[in-house]
Amino acid sequence: MEVKSVVDRAVAGEDLDEQEVTFLLGLRGPDLNAAAAAADALRKEQVGDVVTYVVNRNINFTNACILRCKFCAFSRNYRNSEAFMLPIEEVVRQAEEAWNLGATEVCIQAGLAPGMDWRLYPKILEQIKARVPNMHIHAYSPEEIWYGSRLSGMNYSDFLRTLMGAGLDSMPGTSAEILDDSIRKIISPGRLPVNEWVKIIKAAHSLGIPTTATMMYGHVENLAQRAEHLLLLRDIQKETGGFTEFVPLSFVPYRTELNSSGVVKWAPTAFETVAIYVAARLALGWHIKNLQVSWVKEGPRLAQAILAAGANDFGGTLINESISTSAGSSHGQFMNPREIRRLILDAGRVPAQRSTTYKIIKHFTEVEDGNPIPLEGAVYSEEKFGSFNELIADKKFRFSRRSP
């Protein structure tokens, strides 16, 4: 197989097959450079030179979880002294603070807390909307939808309708990991199987709830399984059109059970990561046009470089990031919009703030903005915004069976 023949088919708008996508994922050296240039050119054709970002805040309201996923360093058994559960009022306070700082989105995800009342899911949405009605709520992974549906006795569609009525605007397409049940049994036994993840995503799309699409790679899967994952996402998108973006998430192993047990020793390399983005643009670009780079996973410099390999979105400001940080990521929990714009401009691209669903809010020509949002003047500190470590140290947030 030759790089040129595969690239030519992708650029012509033809759907690549599993063998071709697997081939792209394994490229290195000059062949990877050539494919990256083609992916970058295709990106320019499909979405232009604008690189978007969203001003958002992550709120993970509990780390207590009934599952023991081996890739996760965030969750805790509910008896663990580090298990916490934020009261609804604290979740709402953080959402309102984010709005006052200029955020347009809150992303809400959490562990599956034992003994939880399913009504907590819609209550969080209702109370955020009551306080900040124009905030976009991007909430609840398919795993949480599965759990809430199970607790409530509703089917997926009815549970999702309940959440929509309470204020749900969109969903993260996380808990996907690698969409291969043989892999999931190794890294996350007990988690929802592939067919249920697909059912939930399709149910959301059928109701008009947009979702992201993700892939956590770099643990025990092989290249063919990565390719199968990408093509499954493509098939869903061709059927529903409900994915707003694709977000590759490189595995951060350092504090996870997969690492401590010796199953996974290393994080994905830079070239491995670039190949993911190249393959994603060439295999998905005609169907899922927005390809997000995760600065939390890759670090600002590699994230910037990936903008030349097919990516067109820089993700969000986050304000609080707990999942990757817990696993050992050292790239921080917040990025100031000014820094995001600086990296985008230095890459020769045009920065723009967007909404969750990729509507452009504002284009920029310079790092500094004449009318900055309050967040741009903020200096990140755990004291100001709180942090995961602060939450688990605060006794008033400790998890108990009486937590809301």
Residue ranges of the domains in the chain? 3-397
* pLDDT (average), residues 344-361: 98
Contact partners, residue 130, CB within 8 Å, separation at least 6: none
What is the H or E stretch that residue 244 is in?
strand 243-250
Of 87, 172, 90, nearest to 131 (Cα)?
90
What gap in Å lies between CA 396 and CA 381, rounded to an integer?
Answer: 21
Beta strand 50-54 with 211-217 is: unpaired
What gap in Å lies between CA 112 and CA 328, rounded to an integer?
Answer: 22
What is the H or E stretch that residue 160 is in?
helix 156-166
Per-residue model confidence (pLDDT) at position 404: 53
Per-residue model confidence (pLDDT) at position 164: 98
With contact defined as beta carbons under 8 Å apart, do 79 and 379 qualify? no
CA angle 24, 41, 276 (to 5 degrees): 30
| Rounded CA Rg of the chain | 20
Give 384's pLDDT tier (boundaries 50, 70, 90): low
Count other C-beta atoms under 10 Å from residue 389's C-beta: 13
DSSP string across 290-357: -BB--HHHH-HHHHHHHTTTT--EEEE--S---HHHHHT--S-S---HHHHHHHHHHTT-EEEEE-TT
CATH class of 3-397: alpha beta
* pLDDT (average), residues 379-384: 54
Whole-prediction pTM value?
A: 0.94
User: C-alpha 341: how far from its chain's center?
Assistant: 20
What gap in Å lies between CA 78 and CA 43, rounded to an integer?
Answer: 45
Per-residue model confidence (pLDDT) at position 1: 84
What Å distances lie between residue 4 and 32, 310, 345, CA to CA?
11, 17, 30
Per-residue model confidence (pLDDT) at position 331: 54
> Looking at 50-130, which runs of residues are DSSP E strands?
50-54, 56-59, 105-108
Per-residue model confidence (pLDDT) at position 382: 45
What gap in Å lies between CA 401 and CA 404, rounded to an integer?
Answer: 8
With contact defined as beta carbons under 8 Å apart, do 319 and 373 qualify? no
With contact defined as beta carbons under 8 Å apart, do 328 and 253 qualify? yes
* Residue-wise pLDDT tens digits, 136-178: 999 999 999 999 999 999 999 999 999 999 999 999 999 999 9
What gap in Å lies between CA 95 and CA 89, rounded to an integer?
Answer: 10
Mean pLDDT of the chain: 92
* Residue-wise pLDDT tens digits, 29-85: 999 999 999 999 999 999 999 999 999 999 999 999 999 899 998 888 888 888 889
Q: What are the residues facing 363 on neighbouring strands?
A: 352
In this predicted structure, which of 46-50, 57-61, 223-227, 251-255 has the lowest mean pLDDT? 251-255
Per-residue model confidence (pLDDT) at position 192: 95
What gap in Å lies between CA 23 and CA 233, rounded to an integer?
Answer: 18
Per-residue model confidence (pLDDT) at position 397: 76
What gap in Å lies between CA 241 and CA 377, rounded to an integer?
Answer: 38
Q: Is 96 helix (H, G, I), strand (E, B) or coil?
A: helix
pLDDT at 323 over 90: no
Give 328's pLDDT tier (boundaries 50, 70, 90): low
